Structure 1
Amino acid sequence: MLDSKKAVLVCVTGQHDCDRLIHAGKCIAQQRNVQLQVLCVQPTSKGVNGDCDELEYLRQTSKEADAEMTVYFNDEAAYTAAAFARHVGAVHIVTGMAEEPVNGFIDVLHSLLPEIPISMVAKDKKVYNICPENMGCMPRLAYSF
């Protein structure tokens, strides 16, 4: 039985290839026996019409992974994600890898939630981790998804 008060939180953008993040999050959630939550924080400038096809694809991918997908429109993505992580009882966070130019999302998220491990999934599906000091984990873990 899943622990419904805890979750793995997957943070996606409006990009189609964020499906790899959902698949990685599902693997981690199954390993930890917790629910899976997917969050997309879109900039307010995109409005409700931005990335509709991609968001619908990610919503469907989330549904197939037995996850609920939530979309917020806010210009402070890391702060919104941190608040949502606390709300859903996140025990692990999954994001994509920071690309140039780096927007600081992962750094800010980690500074706000230093006790929660963060897994960053590269486009080649390699998973890199930021772990709390009290947790011993490898810099990179390979998940099959």
Structure 2
Amino acid sequence: MKKKTAVLVCVTGQRDCDRLIKAGRKIADREGLSVQVLCVLPIQAGSKDCSEELEHLRQTARDADAEMTVFFHDDPALMAVGFVKQIGAVHIVTGMAEAPVNGFVDVIHNLLPKIPIAMVGKDGTVYNLLPESNRTPVVQALA
């Protein structure tokens, strides 16, 4: 069975990650791909109430014609890499790392160096980490 290709949008349990889903939908439309949304929360978050935020993101994903998957694991980057391989993702969308940098994008880029990563800032600006760019970010506006 052939793997399907998709844009994988990696979100946290924060409400403002809806901008990532919308950016992922634009990339998917441009490239003729489906969209998958992945949220990996720490194991101990399973006991905390983050249902409102997750429901908001699930609804945003549904509005963007995307499936959303939630995992509880303490290594979100490795879970994301495994999910990329499982769904056959060819593009990844994340938020911009704030200080302190947790290494999420670095781990994904090191393990999947041929897959472009779009990082969306709080203001909606998209920075692309492209395979051929040798880790030099490129700013691109998604209109």
Which range, TM-score by smaller chain? Answer: over 0.9
2:50 and 2:131 map into 1 onto residues whose CA distance is 34
Which SS does the other structure have where 1:5 is aligned?
Answer: coil
> In the alignment, residue 21 of structure 1 is paired with which amino acid?
L
44-53 or 82-91: which moved more? 44-53
User: How far does residue 48 in structure 1 lie from its aligned partner after superposition?
Assistant: 4.9
Paired residue for 2:90? 91
User: How far does residue 133 in structure 1 lie from its aligned partner after superposition?
Assistant: 1.7
Deviations along 1:8-45, one digit per CA (max 9) or x if unpaired, are: 00000000000000000000000110110000000001
Which SS does the other structure have where 1:70 is aligned?
Answer: strand
Structure 2 length normalisation: TM-score? 0.93
After superposition, the CA RMSD in angstroms is 1.7
1:58 and 1:100 map into 2 onto residues whose CA distance is 24
Matches for 1:117-128 after TM superposition, within 5 Å: 117-128=116-127
Paired residue for 2:76? 77
2:7 and 2:24 map into 1 onto residues whose CA distance is 6
Structure 1 length normalisation: TM-score? 0.92
Paired residue for 1:114? 113
User: How far does residue 50 in structure 1 lie from its aligned partner after superposition?
Assistant: 3.7
List gaps (5 residues or longer) in structure 2: none
Runs of 4+ in 1 over 4 A off after TM superposition: none
List gaps (5 residues or longer) in structure 1: none
How many positions carry a matched residue from both structures?
Answer: 140
> In the superposition, relative to structure 1, how do residues 84 and 51 fare at CA in structure 2: closer, same or farther (>3 Å)?
same
User: How far does residue 114 in structure 1 lie from its aligned partner after superposition?
Assistant: 0.4
Matches for 1:1-145 after TM superposition, within 5 Å: 5-133=4-132, 139-144=138-143
> In the superposition, relative to structure 1, how do residues 15 and 89 fare at CA in structure 2: closer, same or farther (>3 Å)?
same
> In the superposition, relative to structure 1, how do residues 77 and 142 fare at CA in structure 2: closer, same or farther (>3 Å)?
same
1:58 and 1:19 map into 2 onto residues whose CA distance is 6
